[in-house]
Amino acid sequence: MGSTAVSTADGQPQHKRSTSAIVVTALALFSMFFGAGNLIFPPMLAVQAGDNFWPALFGFLATGSLLPMLAVVAIALSGSNLRDLAQRAGTAFGIVFPVLAYLSIGAFYALPRTGAVSFETAMTPLFGFDSLFASGVFNVVFFGVALLLSWNPNTIMETLGKFLTPALLVLLVIMISVAAFRWNAEPVTPSEPYDDGPFTAGLLEGYLTMDSIAALAFSIVVISTLRGRGFKEGKELVNGTITAGIGAGIMLALVYIGLGLIGRVMPGAGEFDNGAGLLAEAAHRTMGGAGQAVFSAIVLLACLTTAVGLITSTAEFFSEQFAGSYHVWAVTFAVASMIMATQGLDFVMSIAAPVIGFLYPPAITLIFLTLIEPAFRARTRFNWAFFAPLWVAVVWSAIETFISQGWAADALTPLVSWSPLFDEGLGWIVPVLVAFVVGLAIDFARPKPAMIPGTMESVEGEDLSA
């Protein structure tokens, strides 16, 4: 007995169109994640980790691939955007944290980094350009193209997923495949910090990709895109978003492993002090004169796709939350990033480093609280279990950021140095766990709000459907 396939307006079966939309969205999300840092961190990790390569790489994958994937899942399951989630920790956190998060993946750091890295690792080695004027001209063109591609946010996933990302992946596969099959790894003694605690060192290195924070912002773009492609609210939209996030995370992990293997097997890799130079040399050795052109194309595509995603997500957020149209914000962030990128990568990093270090503990706490709350929903709704650990993460992270910058370090260090994992940069984990347990106990002790018949709202006005 035959079956009747449900078709869309264009005559294409619904399940095929849904699968196609998820694949395109996953490819686009991967390209939005995969920028300059994602390209250059893994090979240098391999060089420094030496014989501790695999535990270090697994640590990197935990924060560079798994955590962004979990952030997408968290946003999909919650059905909320970043600001709505953050509001549950109070008005101040609900305003300040999302703004800092979007600025850190926007004009504060990640967005100008795409232009600075493109110029320094793609243009300078290929053409020899190395002046402030050349940097300015390049960044005007680079951010002009990125702004043009992001001008219509409704087509961003189509542009990235169907065209730019496949080109990027083809170039990456060529370079990784040629290098991996040409050389063999030789024993190398690990260097600091990978000689003692390589997994933790890799974990902290994965922070620098910024993808866990970016995922909290990009997820809304994914949801909006799938909704526009006909995905129904509820289970279909949630499952589609989660599937796209998992697909992007798997692609990130595979590419990271490949790039790490290049640093592990290339002869003389230890002579390089950065991943960009190492990969450029690997491309040259494996593909001759065309190798540098291939590597430059990879860098440009990786940075351009990320820049487009960052402009789109940050402009959408600020246009929704504050005054001004999407296009005004897009132009503002593109111009600001162009100016910062012209000053060079060191200038960008000097501004961004404290903000990045401060944001990660509360961001990770927010992701995991959102993921585990459904398991307790039959008994209680997180209130103090949400508020307490997030604020502990904020305060602890602020203190450690002050210490790292040398601000009142002698007075502040005794306040936090007692915590386990402090020396590894993870001292916030135990205090946050303790705050969560205490908060959860308080929530269990509170009577569950009575519900208004026929609604998902409590008599106190608390929405229990979230």
119-171 pLDDT, tens digit each: 888 888 778 777 888 889 999 999 999 999 899 877 776 777 777 778 888 88
User: Which long-range contacts link 1-9 to residues 24+ away (Cβ below 8 Å)?
Assistant: 8/230
pLDDT of residue 12: 52
Q: Is the pLDDT of residue 263 over 70?
A: yes
Give the SS3 label for residue 269: helix
- One domain, residues 325 and 404: no
pLDDT of residue 351: 67
**Number of other CB atoms surrounding residue 60 within 10 Å:** 30
Q: Is the pLDDT of residue 204 over 70?
A: yes
Domain-ending residue, one of 343, 365, 383 = 343
Listed range (107-121, 366-380, 385-399) with the worst mean pLDDT: 107-121
Q: Is the pLDDT of residue 385 over 90?
A: yes
- One domain, residues 333 and 359: no
- Per-residue pLDDT band for 436 (boundaries 50, 70, 90) equals very high
227 or 455, which is more confident: 227
Domain-ending residue, one of 296, 324, 343 = 343
- Per-residue pLDDT band for 224 (boundaries 50, 70, 90) equals confident
- One domain, residues 331 and 369: no
- One domain, residues 267 and 150: yes
Residue 209 structure tokens? 């990709």
pLDDT of residue 428: 93
- One domain, residues 294 and 318: yes
Q: Is the pLDDT of residue 4 over 60?
A: no
Residue type, 359: L
Q: How far, in Å, are 127, 146, 360 from residue 423 at the CA level?
A: 43, 40, 17
Which residues span the domain enclosing 458?
352-466
- One domain, residues 251 and 361: no
Domain-ending residue, one of 343, 370, 390 = 343
pLDDT of residue 395: 94
pLDDT of residue 17: 60
Residue 181: HSE in the Cβ half-sphere, 13 Å Cα cutoff:
7
Mean pLDDT score of the chain, rounded to an integer? Answer: 83
Predicted model pTM: 0.82
pLDDT of residue 6: 44
Give a yes or no: residue 157 inside a domain. Answer: yes
User: Among positive and negative, which fits the CA dihedral 225, 228, 230, 236?
Assistant: positive
- pLDDT single digits (tens) 324-377: 899 999 999 999 999 988 877 677 667 666 777 788 899 999 999 999 988 888
Number of H helices, E strands in the chain: 21, 0
- Per-residue pLDDT band for 188 (boundaries 50, 70, 90) equals confident
Give a yes or no: residue 5 inside a domain. Answer: no
User: Among positive and negative, which fits the CA dihedral 372, 374, 375, 377?
Assistant: positive
Max avg pLDDT among 5-14, 417-426, 450-459: 417-426
Residue type, 260: G
- One domain, residues 425 and 281: no
- One domain, residues 65 and 145: yes
Burial environment of residue 126 by CB neighbours within 10 A (0 to 12, 13 to 18, 19 or more):
middle
Give a yes or no: residue 303 inside a domain. Answer: yes
Burial environment of residue 343 by CB neighbours within 10 A (0 to 12, 13 to 18, 19 or more):
middle
pLDDT of residue 88: 85
**Domain count across the chain:** 2
- One domain, residues 82 and 224: yes
Q: Is the pLDDT of residue 456 over 80?
A: no
- One domain, residues 281 and 369: no
Q: How far, in Å, are 214, 236, 301, 318, 420 from residue 93 at the CA level?
A: 18, 31, 35, 16, 26
- One domain, residues 332 and 456: no
pLDDT of residue 3: 39
pLDDT mean over 368-392 = 90
- Which CATH number characterizes residue 309's domain? 1.20.1740.10
What is the rounded radius of gyration, in angstroms, for the C-alpha atoms of the chain? 23
pLDDT of residue 13: 52
- pLDDT single digits (tens) 49-96: 999 999 999 999 999 999 999 999 888 888 777 888 888 888 889 889
- Per-residue pLDDT band for 288 (boundaries 50, 70, 90) equals confident
